[in-house]
Chain A
Amino acid sequence: MTAKTRGPWSRLYAGFGISGPVTLLLLAAALGVPWLPGEFWTHVGTEVLIFGLFAMSFNLLYGYMGQISFGHAAFFGVGAYATAMLFTALKGADGQIGIAEFLLSLLAGPPVAALVALVVGFFCVRLTGIYFAILTLAFGELLFYIVFSWYTFTKGDDGIQGLLPPPFFQDSTNFYFFTLAIVAVAAAVMWRITESPFGYALRTLRDNQRRAGFLGTNVRVHMLVNFVLAGTFAGIAGALWGPFSRSVNPGLLGWGESGIAVFMTLIGGAGSFIGPLLGSVIYTMLQAVVKMYTVYWPLTIGTIILLIVLFAPGGILGMIDKRIQATRARKDAAGADAAAAAPAKEQRP
């Protein structure tokens, strides 16, 4: 009944939920970032995108499948290392790398991350809840220590340095738009997946895993496929990280890094597709600003997380979404009252 009066925002909301309008706003903002004065914000913007992709890949596990992973950074890190190693192998003696070789090295990250996720996931999908969380943590830490201590292969805690992209991509604006394009495509693919029958099968696992089995869904196989998908997208984010920061180090695989994805998702809202990306915007920008003034970043972010858990459990988008729905329910109720009242009026002489 109210559909006629709905504007374009409402229609967008009806089609894509809160993610629709927010995505458009974020996209508009993203296109404007390089015109901000100074290279600083372009740099932060690139970081927002890479971590946003990482957090969104995490949310495939958490928001859609209902399992929390504390080892998701392992796939981000493995992707970063795979790219960094191929990058190092392909670059010339002068430290320069050609465009084709550069793109090729980027392609190395995701499949290697997927492969590792397949092996790790094979074991992890047997468990749920706190056991899933701890097993992913244990695998993540194991991979961290392997990278950390296998000096001959990974250069250990020195990390891999000198990942200088080709001249065109050394320009921060160019690299920013390159990253934006990749992240946008990856996000679009993820959106398709979450809105597919597979995506809804994941939601049934989240809401009631036992019952999902009684629909004829092979619970473990669905979990494993999703685990590999999440690992692959984390690997794409990781692949971008090396050339962006010019280096990789074992810390990228550690659980502190996994925690960042969890924080971003929680801040933005796990219940909506775009929530983790918004979380990355807030987290990364806040970190960039706060770190300019104080060393007490953990205190700041810790307090924010505390407040969100206590007062806005659905994250920022969850909170906004709740407001919108409440307003709508009110309006609909008012509309229904008006409709009920109208015939009565007509009957009056």
Chain B
Amino acid sequence: MSQNILEVTGLEKHFGGVHVTCDIHFAMQEGEQSAIIGPNGAGKSTFMNLLTGYHRPDAGKVVFAGREITGMPPHKVVRRGISRAFQVSSIFGRMTVSENVRAAVQAQMRATFRLFASARTLGAGETERMLALCGLEGKRDLVAGELAQGDKKRLELAIALAGKPRLLLLDEPTAGMSIDEARSTMELVDRLNQELKLTVLFTEHDMGIVFNHARKLTLLHRGEIILQGTPEEVRANETAQKVYLGEHRT
């Protein structure tokens, strides 16, 4: 059995009196591609916030690649190899598409304290690679804030990939995309997972995408894991249907 790349034990978080994450135990193996599902407010985004250091957990442990990262600030977590793309696209709106990616590449190179290097040339090759990978070559000089929603999400992904992660967290990667855009985005994610052996964890509302692209599912409900298993197992499970799948059968 291969080594777990991510191991979460007993993770807890509450805001005020509300438990948003209760005693979560969760593990991922290197090269896995899995999804977290659950209704709105189930605690999916909070879970990602806890993994990436945006929130500090009240209890529990997060171990990544054999080292504990619990409570580390985001920039340190990123340097350990976890990148993240956000649900509400959270790009750098006044910079162009290529500047967005380039800044991410240069941050990954730890070059951001080089006061006299030229930002235009440093990491230019890698930037182009990321733009091509995410299909953004044609939009490189557009101002990011003015992109269409689908393009913003792809830029979001390009920025996350520029961090050269071992584990990629995607919070609703296809939200706001057309069906075609969503398909090509998920194909890209599959390719990253298969060719580059990138471990991928994503949340998603579209069950079609979840069942087609995740090999393991974790169902969150009110901050608790109520079910883990393969797509087939989850599909067959009654609790899962009641809690979540039911409301999406329209």
Residues in A lying within 8 Å of B, measured CB to CB = 192-193, 195-201, 203-204, 206-208, 210-219, 222, 225
Contact = CB atoms under 8 A, between A and B. Distances in A.
Contacts of B90: 208, 210-211
A219 B108 CA distance: 14
B131 to A, nearest CB: 16
Interface string B44-83: 0000000010100000000000000000011100110001
B27 to A, nearest CB: 23
Contact of A215 (B113, B114, B116, B163): B163
Contacts of A206: 94
Contact of B107 (A193, A201, A208): A201
Contacts of A207: 91-95
B159 interface: yes
A204 B116 contact: no
A33 B104 CA distance: 44
Given A197-B106, A201-B103, A215-B104, A192 B112 contact: no
Contacts of B108: 215-216
Given A208-B92, A218-B75, A200 B106 contact: yes
A210 B73 CA distance: 11
24 contacts: A192-B115, A195-B118, A196-B115, A197-B106, A197-B109, A197-B111, A197-B117, A198-B114, A199-B119, A200-B112, A203-B92, A204-B92, A207-B93, A212-B92, A213-B54, A214-B52, A214-B74, A214-B84, A215-B75, A215-B159, A215-B162, A215-B163, A216-B110, A218-B75
A212 B117 CA distance: 20
Given A215-B78, A217-B107, A193 B93 contact: no
Contacts of A192: 115-116
B99 interface: yes
Contacts of B91: 207-208, 211
For the complex of A and B, 10 pairs with smallest distance between CB atoms: A207-B92, A201-B112, A215-B107, A216-B78, A213-B74, A197-B106, A197-B111, A200-B103, A211-B90, A216-B107
Contacts of A215: 75, 78, 103-104, 107-108, 159, 162-163
Contacts of B116: 192-193, 196
A130 B93 CA distance: 21
Contacts of B110: 216
Most central of A201, A206, A207, A222 by chain B CB within 10 Å: A207
Nearest to A207: B92
Given A196-B115, A206-B94, A210-B54, 4 more contacts: A198-B112, A214-B54, A214-B83, A215-B103
Contacts of A218: 73, 75
Interface residues of B, number: 39
A208 B114 contact: no
B102 interface: yes
A139 B163 CA distance: 37
B115 A217 contact: no
A193 to B, nearest CB: 5
Contact of A225 (B113, B120, B122): B113
Nearest to A189: B116
Interface in B135-168: 159, 162-163
Contacts of B118: 195-196
A200 B103 CA distance: 6
Interface of A is mostly: helix
Nearest to B109: A197
A213 B73 CA distance: 8
B93 A197 contact: no
Contacts of B115: 192-193, 196, 198
B113 A204 contact: no
B86 A211 contact: yes
Nearest to A211: B90
A251 B71 CA distance: 45
Given A203-B99, A219-B75, A197 B112 contact: yes
A204 B96 CA distance: 11
B95 A203 contact: yes
Nearest to A201: B112
Given A215-B103, A215-B108, A198 B113 contact: yes
Contacts of A200: 95, 99, 102-103, 106, 112, 119
Nearest to B120: A195
B117 A196 contact: yes
Contacts of A199: 119
Most central of B54, B93, B104, B163 by chain A CB within 10 Å: B104
A125 to B, nearest CB: 14
A207 B116 CA distance: 22
A12 to B, nearest CB: 16
A215 B101 CA distance: 10
A199 B84 CA distance: 23
A193 B108 CA distance: 19
A196 B78 contact: no
B82 to A, nearest CB: 9
Contacts of A216: 75, 78-79, 107-108, 110, 163
B171 to A, nearest CB: 11
Nearest to B123: A197
